[in-house]
Amino acid sequence: MNRNAILVLIVPFVLGSAAVRAQSELGSPAVERATTERAFSVDYGKLVDAAFPTYTNESLQKRLDAIRAKYPGGRDSVRVWKLADFEDALALPRSRDAARQSRVSLPEREYGVDQARGRVFLFEKTAAAVPITPGRLQEIKPLIMAKHRLTLKRIGIADDEIFYQRSDVAVGQSTTGPSQAERRTTPQVVHGLQTYVLRAIEGIQIEGSSARLLSTDPQRIDLLDVRWAPFSLPAQTLAPALREREELKAAVAAKVRQLAGGAAASLKMAVVMLRVTADGQSHYVPALRIGLRTENEGEGALFYEPLWKEFSAAPDGSDLPSGGELK
């Protein structure tokens, strides 16, 4: 990752959640919701100062050293990278020739494993045809939550890697009509109970690593999408030095100025581990994630600044929030 290169992703601005802003030294300082959280300004330098995480290079280096010492060979807690193991974990009928397959597509479901990308998934195609009322879903919510927790354990998701976990009722609605004047919004439809999980290593969030499960019945998983790639730091004898905070602030302010184009903006930041490709292998490196939102736009920009002074690598976009689109 060239130190002067900044990766930019244009994505819906979702950094306002408590989990993602990580109210600790690794995230933007907590602010009063009624005042500065939604504040916009054209003073980009001041915005960067206010949103910059409060970590010191010494405290961050201690975290990184602890990770390298605890996981010298990396960490891969997922136990279902073989299709047969995945089928057993989810109590699926064993497919033919499972030892040589990585993906199965049937009339009723589709599922697969991909260790290179760090993903396992399942989609029950008939689930949408099973209606459920909000009242019924609330009754069985504890049972579904227990099913989701058990499924995560069977897959191999370690408790100490869970950064954030939440279960909510998933609803949807659509707008129909041939013209703007004739458009009608349909009533909300309950899709099930969804559990969403984010990942961290020793308190540092792993960017793009998450698990999502959806069910309408405590005996069944209707949708599962787990992105939990094997974790490792680059194999280096000496850890690269961290960039100075003031240098980072100047680089971020310059990029914000370029992206905002003079418009009033707001910022959220967090230190994350970003997956990159170096020498043909994927590793994780520390980076600063910056979420930018302009006052008059519904979408924002998400970009990254490398935290190591010298590290040459190409970003691996397969698990980034945009689905891998780098701009």
Range in 77-91, 125-139, 155-169, 181-195 with the lowest mean pLDDT: 181-195
In a domain, 77, yes or no: no
Domain of 289, in residue numbers? 7-72+234-319
Number of domains in the chain: 2
User: pLDDT: is 157 or 1 the higher one?
Assistant: 157
CB 308 within 8 A of CB 243: yes
How many other C-beta atoms lie within 10 A of the C-beta of residue 4? 8
Given this model, what pLDDT does residue 326 score? Answer: 28
User: pLDDT: is 283 or 181 the higher one?
Assistant: 283
Are 88 and 222 in a shared domain? Answer: yes
Given this model, what pLDDT does residue 234 score? Answer: 87
Instruction: Quote the distance between the C-alpha of residue 310 and its chain's center.
Output: 25
Are 288 and 160 in a shared domain? Answer: no
Q: What is the CA radius of gyration of the chain?
A: 22
User: What is the biggest distance separating any 2 CA atoms in the chain, rounded to whole angstroms?
Assistant: 66
Are 250 and 286 in a shared domain? Answer: yes
Are 90 and 219 in a shared domain? Answer: yes
Closest CA to 139 of 212, 218, 221, 222: 218
The C-alpha atoms of residue 315 and residue 277 are separated, in whole angstroms, by 6
Given this model, what pLDDT does residue 323 score? Answer: 35
CB 95 within 8 A of CB 87: yes
In a domain, 109, yes or no: yes
- Please check the confidence at residue 263 and state whether its pLDDT lies above 70: yes
- Three-class DSSP category at 127: helix
In a domain, 153, yes or no: yes
CB 232 within 8 A of CB 284: yes
Q: What is the pLDDT of residues 74-133, one digit of tens each?
A: 999 999 999 999 999 999 998 877 667 899 999 999 999 999 899 999 999 987 666 788
In a domain, 327, yes or no: no
- Please check the confidence at residue 61 and state whether its pLDDT lies above 50: yes
In a domain, 324, yes or no: no
**Any alpha helices (H) in the chain, and if so which ranges?**
18-21, 44-51, 57-70, 83-89, 134-155, 245-260
In a domain, 314, yes or no: yes
Are 262 and 284 in a shared domain? Answer: yes
Are 87 and 66 in a shared domain? Answer: no
Given this model, what pLDDT does residue 128 score? Answer: 64
Given this model, what pLDDT does residue 318 score? Answer: 56
Mean pLDDT of 290-313: 82
Q: DSSP string of 190-214? A: EEEEEEEEEEEETTEEEEEEEEEEE
In a domain, 2, yes or no: no
Are 142 and 19 in a shared domain? Answer: no
Mean pLDDT of the chain: 83
User: pLDDT: is 11 or 89 the higher one?
Assistant: 89
Given this model, what pLDDT does residue 316 score? Answer: 67
**What's 208's domain CATH number?**
3.30.310
Range in 26-40, 196-210, 252-266 with the lowest mean pLDDT: 26-40
The C-alpha atoms of residue 29 and residue 17 are separated, in whole angstroms, by 13
pLDDT band at 135; cut points 50, 70, 90? confident
- Three-class DSSP category at 15: coil
Mean pLDDT of 10-23: 41
Are 218 and 95 in a shared domain? Answer: yes
Are 170 and 281 in a shared domain? Answer: no
Range in 59-73, 81-95, 300-314 with the lowest mean pLDDT: 300-314
Residue type, position 212, single letter: R
Are 260 and 146 in a shared domain? Answer: no
pLDDT band at 232; cut points 50, 70, 90? very high
In a domain, 78, yes or no: no
Are 93 and 209 in a shared domain? Answer: yes
Looking at 198, 227, 256, which one is the last position of a domain? 227
Are 154 and 281 in a shared domain? Answer: no
Q: What are the structure tokens assigned to 255, written together?
A: 């990029």
